[in-house]
Structure 1
Protein backbone atom coordinates (compact mmCIF):
# COMPACT_ATOMS: atom_id res chain seq x y z
CA UNK A 1 0.00 0.00 0.00
CA UNK A 2 1.31 3.42 -0.94
CA UNK A 3 1.48 5.98 1.87
CA UNK A 4 3.08 9.39 2.10
CA UNK A 5 5.90 9.54 4.65
CA UNK A 6 7.21 12.77 6.19
CA UNK A 7 9.48 12.11 9.13
CA UNK A 8 9.87 15.68 10.34
CA UNK A 9 11.10 14.67 13.79
CA UNK A 10 14.27 12.83 14.72
CA UNK A 11 12.12 10.59 16.89
CA UNK A 12 8.46 9.81 16.51
CA UNK A 13 8.66 7.53 19.56
CA UNK A 14 10.34 9.58 22.27
CA UNK A 15 12.61 6.88 23.68
CA UNK A 16 13.50 8.88 26.79
CA UNK A 17 9.80 8.94 27.74
CA UNK A 18 9.36 5.15 27.98
CA UNK A 19 8.30 4.29 31.51
CA UNK A 20 6.73 1.47 33.47
CA UNK A 21 3.11 1.57 34.57
CA UNK A 22 2.45 0.34 38.10
CA UNK A 23 -0.98 -0.62 39.44
CA UNK A 24 -1.23 -1.37 43.17
CA UNK A 25 2.56 -1.48 43.32
CA UNK A 26 2.86 -4.12 40.59
CA UNK A 27 4.43 -3.61 37.17
CA UNK A 28 1.44 -3.68 34.83
CA UNK A 29 2.51 -2.19 31.53
CA UNK A 30 4.41 0.68 29.98
CA UNK A 31 3.87 4.10 28.44
CA UNK A 32 5.66 6.25 25.90
CA UNK A 33 5.25 9.59 24.15
CA UNK A 34 4.89 10.03 20.40
CA UNK A 35 5.05 13.06 18.15
CA UNK A 36 3.09 13.41 14.94
CA UNK A 37 5.35 13.51 11.88
CA UNK A 38 3.22 15.78 9.74
CA UNK A 39 3.52 19.54 9.57
CA UNK A 40 -0.21 20.37 9.46
CA UNK A 41 -1.44 18.34 12.40
CA UNK A 42 -4.57 16.18 12.31
CA UNK A 43 -7.88 15.58 13.96
CA UNK A 44 -7.92 12.34 15.91
CA UNK A 45 -10.89 11.18 13.83
CA UNK A 46 -8.50 11.03 10.82
CA UNK A 47 -6.54 8.17 12.39
CA UNK A 48 -7.19 5.06 10.31
CA UNK A 49 -4.80 2.74 12.15
CA UNK A 50 -3.02 2.93 15.49
CA UNK A 51 -1.26 -0.25 16.58
CA UNK A 52 1.51 -1.13 19.01
CA UNK A 53 3.80 -4.14 18.59
CA UNK A 54 6.23 -5.44 21.20
CA UNK A 55 8.90 -7.80 19.89
CA UNK A 56 6.79 -8.35 16.77
CA UNK A 57 3.63 -9.26 18.68
CA UNK A 58 0.59 -7.01 18.26
CA UNK A 59 -0.83 -5.62 21.50
CA UNK A 60 -4.63 -5.86 21.63
CA UNK A 61 -6.47 -2.58 21.02
CA UNK A 62 -8.28 -2.99 24.34
CA UNK A 63 -4.94 -2.77 26.19
CA UNK A 64 -3.97 0.59 24.63
CA UNK A 65 -5.08 4.14 25.39
CA UNK A 66 -4.16 7.40 23.66
CA UNK A 67 -3.80 10.63 25.65
CA UNK A 68 -3.58 14.12 24.21
CA UNK A 69 -3.77 17.36 26.20
CA UNK A 70 -4.97 15.53 29.32
CA UNK A 71 -7.75 13.58 27.53
CA UNK A 72 -7.25 9.83 27.57
CA UNK A 73 -9.22 7.74 25.07
CA UNK A 74 -9.48 4.04 24.26
CA UNK A 75 -8.58 3.41 20.62
CA UNK A 76 -12.13 2.69 19.48
CA UNK A 77 -13.16 6.26 20.42
CA UNK A 78 -10.54 8.00 18.27
CA UNK A 79 -12.77 7.89 15.19
CA UNK A 80 -15.38 9.92 17.11
CA UNK A 81 -12.92 12.60 18.29
CA UNK A 82 -13.79 15.01 15.48
CA UNK A 83 -12.98 18.14 17.51
CA UNK A 84 -9.69 16.94 19.05
CA UNK A 85 -6.78 18.34 17.04
CA UNK A 86 -3.26 16.86 17.32
CA UNK A 87 -0.69 19.48 16.44
CA UNK A 88 2.78 18.45 15.25
CA UNK A 89 4.33 20.07 18.33
CA UNK A 90 2.10 18.25 20.86
CA UNK A 91 3.23 14.96 22.36
CA UNK A 92 0.65 12.22 22.78
CA UNK A 93 1.07 9.54 25.44
CA UNK A 94 0.43 5.91 24.57
CA UNK A 95 -0.33 3.61 27.52
CA UNK A 96 -0.14 -0.16 27.17
CA UNK A 97 -1.42 -2.53 29.82
CA UNK A 98 0.59 -5.75 29.91
CA UNK A 99 0.46 -8.16 32.84
CA UNK A 100 3.85 -8.19 34.57
CA UNK A 101 5.03 -5.20 32.54
CA UNK A 102 8.32 -5.38 30.67
CA UNK A 103 11.99 -5.27 31.61
CA UNK A 104 15.15 -5.52 29.57
CA UNK A 105 15.54 -4.71 25.88
CA UNK A 106 12.62 -4.89 23.47
CA UNK A 107 11.66 -3.88 19.95
CA UNK A 108 8.78 -1.40 20.07
CA UNK A 109 6.83 -0.59 16.94
CA UNK A 110 4.21 2.12 16.72
CA UNK A 111 2.05 1.96 13.58
CA UNK A 112 0.09 5.11 12.83
CA UNK A 113 -1.74 5.66 9.58
CA UNK A 114 -3.66 8.88 9.04
CA UNK A 115 -6.09 9.88 6.33
CA UNK A 116 -5.41 13.32 4.82
CA UNK A 117 -8.97 14.53 4.22
CA UNK A 118 -8.08 17.35 1.83
CA UNK A 119 -5.92 15.21 -0.54
CA UNK A 120 -8.25 13.06 -2.61
CA UNK A 121 -6.57 10.42 -4.74
CA UNK A 122 -8.29 8.23 -7.26
CA UNK A 123 -11.99 7.61 -7.67
CA UNK A 124 -14.54 6.92 -4.93
CA UNK A 125 -13.28 9.61 -2.52
CA UNK A 126 -10.15 7.82 -1.39
CA UNK A 127 -7.76 10.03 0.54
CA UNK A 128 -3.98 10.11 0.77
CA UNK A 129 -2.71 7.86 3.58
CA UNK A 130 0.11 9.20 5.77
CA UNK A 131 2.49 6.83 7.55
CA UNK A 132 3.56 8.39 10.86
CA UNK A 133 4.91 5.28 12.57
CA UNK A 134 8.30 4.12 13.79
CA UNK A 135 10.14 1.04 15.11
CA UNK A 136 12.81 1.40 17.83
CA UNK A 137 14.68 -0.62 20.43
CA UNK A 138 13.87 0.33 24.01
CA UNK A 139 15.45 -0.68 27.29
CA UNK A 140 13.50 -0.94 30.54
CA UNK A 141 15.16 -1.29 33.91
CA UNK A 142 13.94 -4.01 36.22
CA UNK A 143 12.67 -3.77 39.79
Structure 2
Protein backbone atom coordinates (compact mmCIF):
# COMPACT_ATOMS: atom_id res chain seq x y z
CA UNK A 1 0.00 0.00 0.00
CA UNK A 2 2.73 2.49 0.95
CA UNK A 3 5.41 0.68 -1.02
CA UNK A 4 6.01 3.48 -3.51
CA UNK A 5 6.69 5.96 -0.68
CA UNK A 6 9.21 3.82 1.21
CA UNK A 7 12.41 5.02 -0.47
CA UNK A 8 12.79 8.79 -0.18
CA UNK A 9 13.43 10.43 -3.55
CA UNK A 10 16.78 12.13 -4.14
CA UNK A 11 18.28 10.70 -0.94
CA UNK A 12 21.05 8.45 -2.33
CA UNK A 13 24.53 9.59 -1.34
CA UNK A 14 27.97 8.24 -0.64
CA UNK A 15 29.11 8.13 2.98
CA UNK A 16 32.50 9.54 3.95
CA UNK A 17 34.71 9.06 6.96
CA UNK A 18 37.32 11.75 6.69
CA UNK A 19 38.55 11.67 3.11
CA UNK A 20 37.51 8.03 2.50
CA UNK A 21 34.23 6.93 0.94
CA UNK A 22 33.15 3.99 3.09
CA UNK A 23 29.70 3.24 1.73
CA UNK A 24 26.44 4.73 0.60
CA UNK A 25 23.13 5.62 2.20
CA UNK A 26 19.55 6.47 1.34
CA UNK A 27 16.52 7.43 3.35
CA UNK A 28 13.52 5.16 3.77
CA UNK A 29 10.17 5.14 5.53
CA UNK A 30 8.63 2.22 7.37
CA UNK A 31 6.26 0.37 5.04
CA UNK A 32 3.53 0.04 7.65
CA UNK A 33 0.84 2.49 8.68
CA UNK A 34 1.88 2.60 12.34
CA UNK A 35 5.06 2.97 14.30
CA UNK A 36 7.08 -0.18 14.82
CA UNK A 37 9.51 -0.99 17.59
CA UNK A 38 12.86 -1.82 15.96
CA UNK A 39 12.75 -5.43 17.15
CA UNK A 40 9.72 -5.86 14.88
CA UNK A 41 11.79 -4.95 11.81
CA UNK A 42 13.11 -8.43 11.08
CA UNK A 43 15.12 -7.71 7.95
CA UNK A 44 16.07 -4.95 5.55
CA UNK A 45 17.08 -6.58 2.28
CA UNK A 46 18.90 -4.19 -0.05
CA UNK A 47 19.88 -4.71 -3.67
CA UNK A 48 21.79 -2.25 -5.81
CA UNK A 49 21.62 -2.59 -9.58
CA UNK A 50 20.42 -6.17 -9.15
CA UNK A 51 23.19 -7.20 -6.74
CA UNK A 52 22.14 -8.21 -3.20
CA UNK A 53 23.93 -6.49 -0.33
CA UNK A 54 25.21 -8.79 2.44
CA UNK A 55 23.06 -8.49 5.57
CA UNK A 56 26.03 -7.62 7.80
CA UNK A 57 26.76 -4.55 5.63
CA UNK A 58 23.33 -2.94 6.27
CA UNK A 59 22.50 -0.64 9.18
CA UNK A 60 19.61 1.66 10.06
CA UNK A 61 19.81 5.06 11.71
CA UNK A 62 16.69 6.10 13.65
CA UNK A 63 16.50 9.06 16.00
CA UNK A 64 20.18 9.82 15.55
CA UNK A 65 21.39 6.35 16.57
CA UNK A 66 22.67 3.67 14.21
CA UNK A 67 21.78 -0.01 14.65
CA UNK A 68 23.02 -3.11 12.87
CA UNK A 69 20.26 -5.52 11.88
CA UNK A 70 21.39 -7.83 14.69
CA UNK A 71 21.20 -5.01 17.26
CA UNK A 72 17.68 -4.17 16.12
CA UNK A 73 16.49 -7.65 17.13
CA UNK A 74 16.84 -6.76 20.81
CA UNK A 75 15.83 -3.09 20.68
CA UNK A 76 12.46 -2.90 22.43
CA UNK A 77 12.28 0.81 23.28
CA UNK A 78 13.13 2.68 20.09
CA UNK A 79 10.43 2.95 17.43
CA UNK A 80 10.49 3.78 13.75
CA UNK A 81 7.61 6.24 13.53
CA UNK A 82 5.17 6.20 10.64
CA UNK A 83 6.32 8.67 7.98
CA UNK A 84 9.68 9.27 9.68
CA UNK A 85 12.57 8.83 7.26
CA UNK A 86 15.35 6.67 8.66
CA UNK A 87 18.72 6.23 6.99
CA UNK A 88 19.69 2.88 5.50
CA UNK A 89 23.48 2.72 5.26
CA UNK A 90 25.47 0.13 3.35
CA UNK A 91 29.15 -0.42 4.09
CA UNK A 92 30.88 -0.55 0.70
CA UNK A 93 34.43 0.75 0.31
CA UNK A 94 34.45 3.34 -2.47
CA UNK A 95 30.66 3.76 -2.34
CA UNK A 96 28.75 4.00 -5.61
CA UNK A 97 29.91 5.70 -8.80
CA UNK A 98 28.15 8.92 -9.76
CA UNK A 99 25.01 8.42 -11.78
CA UNK A 100 21.71 6.51 -11.54
CA UNK A 101 21.33 3.28 -9.58
CA UNK A 102 18.37 0.95 -9.07
CA UNK A 103 17.83 0.59 -5.33
CA UNK A 104 15.57 -2.23 -4.13
CA UNK A 105 14.48 -2.39 -0.51
CA UNK A 106 12.43 -5.15 1.09
CA UNK A 107 11.39 -4.56 4.69
CA UNK A 108 10.39 -7.71 6.55
CA UNK A 109 8.10 -6.47 9.33
CA UNK A 110 6.55 -8.49 12.13
CA UNK A 111 2.99 -7.32 12.74
CA UNK A 112 1.29 -8.58 15.89
CA UNK A 113 -1.98 -9.64 14.25
CA UNK A 114 -0.57 -11.12 11.03
CA UNK A 115 0.44 -14.80 10.94
CA UNK A 116 3.32 -14.12 8.52
CA UNK A 117 5.69 -11.16 8.19
CA UNK A 118 4.50 -8.20 6.15
CA UNK A 119 7.10 -7.54 3.46
CA UNK A 120 6.71 -4.33 1.48
CA UNK A 121 9.13 -4.22 -1.45
CA UNK A 122 10.01 -1.27 -3.61
CA UNK A 123 12.56 -0.41 -6.29
CA UNK A 124 13.48 3.12 -7.22
CA UNK A 125 16.11 4.65 -9.45
CA UNK A 126 18.14 7.17 -7.48
CA UNK A 127 21.17 9.18 -8.56
CA UNK A 128 24.46 9.70 -6.77
CA UNK A 129 25.88 13.16 -7.42
CA UNK A 130 29.45 13.50 -8.61
Given the two structures, how large is their TM-score scaled by the length of structure 2?
A: 0.88
Measure the CA separation in 2 of the matches of 1:10 and 1:47.
18
Question: Which ranges of 4 or more aligned residues in structure 1 deviate by more than 4 Å?
Answer: none
Measure the CA separation in 1 of the matches of 2:8 and 2:123.
11
The Cα shift of 1:102 comes to 0.7
Report the count of equivalent residues. 129
Is the 2:31–2:107 contact (alpha carbons within 8 Å) kept by the matching residues of 1? no
The Cα shift of 1:23 comes to 2.3
Give 3-state SS (helix, strand or coil) of 2:95's partner. Answer: coil
Matched, 1:137 2:125: yes
2:58 to 64, 71, 84: 64
Show CA shifts across 1:76-104 (max 9, x none): 11110111111112111111111211122
Give 3-state SS (helix, strand or coil) of 1:76's partner. Answer: helix
Matched, 1:105 2:76: no
Ranges in structure 2 where 5+ consecutive residues have no aligned partner: none
Ranges in structure 1 where 5+ consecutive residues have no aligned partner: 1-5, 121-126
**How do 1:71-82 residues align onto structure 2 when only pairs under 5 Å count?**
71-82=65-76
Is the 2:21–2:95 contact (alpha carbons within 8 Å) kept by the matching residues of 1? yes
Is the 1:30–1:101 contact (alpha carbons within 8 Å) kept by the matching residues of 2? yes
Q: Which has the larger radius of gyration?
A: 1
Measure the CA separation in 1 of the matches of 2:73 and 2:28.
19
Measure the CA separation in 1 of the matches of 2:93 and 2:121.
25
> Which is richer in strand?
1
Aligned-CA RMSD value: 1.6
Give 3-state SS (helix, strand or coil) of 2:96's partner. Answer: coil
Is the 1:66–1:74 contact (alpha carbons within 8 Å) kept by the matching residues of 2? yes
The Cα shift of 1:17 comes to 1.7
Look up the match of 2:82. Answer: 88
